[in-house]
């Protein structure tokens, strides 16, 4: 059973407990009515059977019987929000907040749920107001700060996100430092886009202070170094980034190839070979293995290139990119010239497959996509997308035939 299903199971139980507590409290003030416990239990059974519509109807009937039970209304609002009926969830939570008899903790809880409704509905200004009012609440203060952080992340308001993240860091938030470091990196990227490298470096330094050795910050420093003409430093930083986080090789290896081969550095090909061999043999990075094979072919070391190809094809499962490279090899052999059209069709089929399959996967939620982003679009975690295959596109200004 998933965490969400456990939550839906426990909510009605909490509501039933609240119902009995409310009845006990008001027993001397008004007659006791027969508790609608059967409808609570029926709602629980429907939730366990994934019959959300019937569960929702059961809880609506409970609310109609007892208009004063706080927990029941919270359950109903969450169910509406889960179904995507955010307007109805907002109305329920607004009515709860307006009740004069609520305790401070209850009102804060209802307002927090209303803030979540507004956030889901995309009404960010009202979500921000609700969460900001609750930042110092002893019962929901930390959750309100997290909601406020989500508002600013969605709006890409990194300055405000840093302010809220710093408050969460003071409360001991486990991931707060990493998030703030990425906010600083976002600001650094904005400054680089404006050619304000000094300000960009200030943000990068703050990110490194929060998360020493953060690969994203190293890559930003490498970008600044390349812009200033310091190619050796840029190469050093790029290499350090991929050693620290091998799963970023899909991003970094093509840039390492370009920096080594398109610059005026002495022994560029030799140094590139050392780097690629280390990444391929020690880190077991497929993209580095194929780049190393390209380098061997470029320098007419065909035996070493074929040896490297055999290593790639020995992987299990064999990467699509390795199969594609094998077909390209066979296509140029004299013995298969008669079948050139067949091999061309095979090559195209593999290339189409490679271009359609995802290149990155989130290590937290499993989201897959072709573009690398630093924040997962699904679970909103930072720095969780990892390369799962590689695109065999050639480095800039090079073609396969020139190898």
pLDDT greater than 90 at residue 386: no
In 3D, which of 58, 14, 100 has the Cα closest to residue 22? 14
C-alpha pair distances (Å), 163 with each of 14, 171, 272, 364: 35, 13, 42, 26
Domain boundary assignment for the chain? 3-170, 174-244
| Full-model pTM | 0.74
**Residue whose structure tokens are 């992987």:** 315
Q: Is 87 exposed, middle or buried (0-12, 13-18, 19+ CB in 10 A)?
A: exposed
Q: What is the pLDDT of residues 215-241, one digit of tens each?
A: 999 999 999 999 988 999 999 999 999
In 3D, which of 201, 272, 197, 211 has the Cα closest to residue 239? 272
Mean pLDDT of 107-112: 94
Least confident of 18-27, 108-117, 138-147, 197-206: 18-27
**3-state SS class at 381:** coil
At the top level of CATH, which class does the domain 174-244 belong to? mainly alpha
Give the architecture-level CATH label for domain 3-170: Alpha Horseshoe (1.25)
Domains 3-170 and 174-244 share a fold: yes
**3-state SS class at 2:** coil
Q: What is the pLDDT of residues 331-348, one digit of tens each?
A: 666 655 565 666 677 677
Q: How many residues does the chain have?
A: 403
More confident residue, 362 or 5: 362
Calpha distance 323→310 (Å, rounded): 11
∠ Cα 157 158 160 (to 5°): 75
């Amino acid at each position: 059973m998933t965490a969400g299903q456990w939550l839906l199971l426990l909510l009605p139980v909490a509501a039933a407990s609240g119902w009995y507590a409310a009845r006990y409290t008001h027993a001397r003030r008004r007659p006791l009515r027969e508790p609608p416990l059967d409808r609570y239990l029926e709602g629980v059974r429907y939730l366990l059977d994934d019959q959300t519509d019937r569960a929702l109807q059961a809880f609506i009937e409970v609310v109609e019987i007892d208009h004063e039970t706080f927990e029941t209304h919270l359950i109903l609002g969450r169910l509406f929000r889960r179904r995507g009926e955010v307007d109805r969830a907002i109305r329920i939570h607004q009515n709860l907040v307006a009740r004069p008899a609520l305790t401070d903790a209850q009102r804060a809880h209802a307002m927090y749920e209303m803030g979540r409704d507004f956030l889901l509905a995309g009404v960010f200004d009202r979500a921000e107001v609700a969460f900001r009012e609750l930042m110092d609440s002893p019962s929901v203060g930390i959750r309100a700060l997290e909601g406020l952080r989500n508002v600013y992340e969605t709006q890409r308001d990194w300055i405000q996100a840093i302010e809220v993240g710093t408050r969460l860091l003071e409360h001991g938030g486990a991931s707060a430092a990493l998030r703030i470091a990425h906010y600083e990196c976002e600001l650094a990227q904005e400054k680089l886009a404006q050619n304000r490298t000094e300000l960009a470096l200030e943000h990068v330094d703050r990110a490194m202070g929060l998360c020493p050795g953060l690969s994203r910050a190293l890559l930003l420093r490498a970008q600044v170094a390349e812009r200033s003409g310091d190619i050796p430093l840029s190469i050093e930083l790029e290499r350090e980034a991929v050693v620290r986080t091998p799963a970023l090789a899909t991003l970094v290896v093509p840039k390492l190839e370009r920096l080594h081969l398109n610059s005026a550095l002495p022994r560029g090909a030799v140094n590139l070979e050392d780097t690629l061999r280390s990444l391929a043999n020690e880190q077991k990075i497929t993209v580095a293995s194929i780049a190393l094979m390209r380098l061997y072919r470029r320098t007419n070391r065909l035996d070493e290139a074929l040896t490297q190809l055999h290593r790639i094809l020995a992987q299990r499962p064999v990467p699509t990119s390795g199969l594609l490279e094998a077909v390209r090899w066979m296509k140029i052999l004299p013995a298969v010239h008669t079948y050139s059209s067949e091999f061309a069709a095979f090559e195209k089929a593999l290339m189409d497959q490679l271009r359609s399959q995802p290149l990155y996967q989130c290590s937290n939620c499993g989201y897959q996509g072709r573009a690398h982003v630093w924040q997962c679009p699904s679970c909103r975690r930072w720095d969780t997308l990892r390369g799962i295959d590689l695109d065999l596109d050639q480095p800039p200004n090079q073609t396969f035939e020139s190898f």
